[in-house]
Chain A
Amino acid sequence: MPISNWVPDHMSTIKMILKELWHRKVNFLLGVLAVATAVAFFVAFQTAARASNRETARLMLSMGYNLHIIAGEADVGTFLMTGVASETMPEAYVDKLANQKNISYNHLSATLERQIPWRNLQVILTGLAPEICPPGHKKPPMIFQVDPGTAYLGYQLAHQLGIKKSDTIEVNGTSLKVVKCLTESGGMDDMRIQCHLADAQKILEAPARISEIQAVDCLCFVEGADPVEILRREIGAILPGTQILQAKSVADARAKQRQMVYKVFGVMLPFVIVACGVWIAVLTVMNVRERQTEIGLLRALGYGTGKIGGLFLGKALLIGVFGAVAGFLLGAGLSLGFGPEIFKLTARTTVQPEWSVFLRGLYTAPLFAMVASFIPVMFAVSYDPATTLREE
């Protein structure tokens, strides 16, 4: 076979990079490991943050709504003591709120409540409208939905009056089928009849009226501002004359829970990224030092800064690409492995590979590796070949 058949035409940059990677595998693998560590941490953070948000929402269901909007004429003292607003307001208010954009609340639920005598007991009749969300904020409902003509009965009521599921009760001439007798709550819910809003409006002879709009505010991350003031300003502009009350303990619990993941990762992520950046920079310095003679030779042969810089930055780029893939697999694997243990309620739906993070990683990780290598590479391209080759 003629020799020219196995002699290449020239040495391209990419060919030299690949051959050098193969020759110095340990240096390459350590670089990939550094990028993979940073990417894996970021992937785990993204997955955990999303899962934590959903998990928190689920856990907070039991704590209920934290925002209460009542009529301007309602007595706040009575509302705070009894949980029932003394005055009503138009049902259309809830639609008005639901049709707003760029707002700081969600999970709107209109209710009509009143304390009424029933079968020699004082009970709370609560009419519930289906929960609605503003445009672009669609979320699964936080509470159960009650169909028209049906009722959910509090534990004490069912227990004291001997009412069972599937029984039919009559309230002020309206028949309601009991679809569920609730478990004991130890609170006012035990003395509550919950029915559809339309049924409650009929029973209480208050057509198209509601006594309260319940909601969840989304101001967990507002810093340096009072969320209540923001909500009052926002909602007050839409529904002038209404009163806005925030259950601070519930709101704070939500905010703290949601911020926890961000705080933990917020402290660790920059540290990990900087450490991995330094790691890559050190590896590049070692690589540059090891290849000083090669750099001097290339200079002596007539190669310019672009070719020499390209050899090192191209290597960093490949380290970034391989690191992104390895890091994503590692991060996703860890999330899928440990996620279900941490997020017991929602892991099945929320702990999933974040493909958007993978795509982002494919261009940010190479950029990260190239930036981390940049200063050592600048030293490499500025080596004086005469000095390097003479020292040898």
Chain B
Amino acid sequence: MILVNDVTKAYPTRAGQVKALDSISLEIAQGEFVAVRGPSGSGKTTLLMAIAGMLRPSAGTVKVGQQDIYELNQRDRAAFRAKNIGFVFQMFHLVPYLNISENILLAPRVGGEDNRSSEAARLLDQLGLAGRATHKPAELSAGEKQRTAIARALLNRPKVILADEPTGNLDPDNADTVVKYLCDFQRGGGTVVVATHGPAAEACATRVIHLRDGRLDEAH
């Protein structure tokens, strides 16, 4: 499903090149739930961005499905991402001037589907946000914000969800709820890659990988 092949991401600095990812190779099968652990600065977010097609590697290739996503031009890569990949962030990243249902519908149309509003309503209901549909993000709790972000990620029924510290700003109860939704997605056949500091996501993980200084840490 996801094939990361010898990927390096280097940034030039005054002190020389810094490698955020250093020759990472990784294969993730469809239906896997992979937890990526590692300390801050280990390259977890960079790896997710590279898999999402938002950060071109300095070397190596990334395939999602059969598609080498960096062979696509920017526009096609954006369309590919909209159709196949859902993203959940630690900071939720909801648009402050849109209400909750509008934030969910911000996920772009990827085809001629005409049932988006009923799908959004179903997700609101499923994620316990039905009474919050017309509220602005500022009026929601952190848990509700993250559930909104998950609903947005799920709207287009993606094949993959990439989650960057999705429980990082949540209390344990809300963290468990968010992990539960990600598990549900995985049980439905989706692939989940979660970058995480803590152990919350590991309960559902089919595999845990460790990063340190941009490299896979084989010691774990």
Contact = CB atoms under 8 A, between A and B. Distances in A.
Interface of A: 2-4, 6-11, 16, 19-20, 22-24, 293-294, 296-305, 307, 384-386, 389-390, 392
Contacts of A385: 54
Interface string B132-166: 01100000000000000000100000000000100
B55 A386 contact: yes
Given A294-B95, A302-B78, A7 B108 contact: no
Contacts of B45: 390
Contact of B102 (A11, A302, A390): A11
A207 B74 CA distance: 88
B121 to A, nearest CB: 4
B121 A23 contact: no
Given A386-B49, A390-B49, A392-B89, A3 B102 contact: no
B116 A10 contact: yes
B208 interface: no
A305 B116 CA distance: 23
B145 to A, nearest CB: 13
A10 B112 CA distance: 12
Interface in B91-144: 91, 93, 95-98, 101-102, 105-110, 114, 116-118, 120-121, 124-125, 130, 133-134
Nearest to B103: A11
Interface of B: 45-46, 49, 52, 54-55, 74-75, 78-83, 87, 89, 91, 93, 95-98, 101-102, 105-110, 114, 116-118, 120-121, 124-125, 130, 133-134, 152, 164
A384 B56 CA distance: 11
Given A16-B98, A301-B87, A10 B78 contact: no
A355 to B, nearest CB: 36
A392 B81 contact: no
A392 B91 contact: yes
Given A23-B96, A293-B93, A301-B107, A7 B124 contact: yes
Contacts of A384: 55
A76 B117 CA distance: 92
Contacts of A24: 97
Nearest to B89: A389
Given A19-B97, A19-B98, A392-B93, A3 B105 contact: no
Closest 10 pairs between A and B when the two form their complex, measured CB to CB: A302-B82, A23-B97, A3-B121, A4-B121, A386-B55, A386-B49, A7-B101, A7-B117, A302-B81, A297-B93
Nearest to B104: A7
B91 A7 contact: no
Contacts of B152: 301
Contacts of B107: 301-302
Nearest to A19: B97
Contact of A8 (B80, B110, B117, B130): B117
Contacts of B114: 9
A3 B81 contact: no
Q: Which residue of B74, B83, B117, B124 has the most chain A CB atoms within 10 A of its CB atom?
A: B117
Nearest to B85: A302
Contact of B87 (A23, A294, A300, A303): A300
A9 B105 contact: yes
Nearest to B118: A4
Given A24-B97, A302-B82, A389-B93, A7 B49 contact: no
Contact of A300 (B75, B81, B116, B134): B81
A294 B97 CA distance: 10
B102 A2 contact: no
A153 to B, nearest CB: 80
A11 B87 contact: no
Given A3-B124, A7-B105, 5 more contacts: A2-B121, A10-B116, A294-B93, A302-B80, A386-B46
Contacts of A298: 106
A3 B134 CA distance: 10
Contacts of B91: 293, 392
A39 B7 CA distance: 55
A386 B54 contact: yes
B169 to A, nearest CB: 11
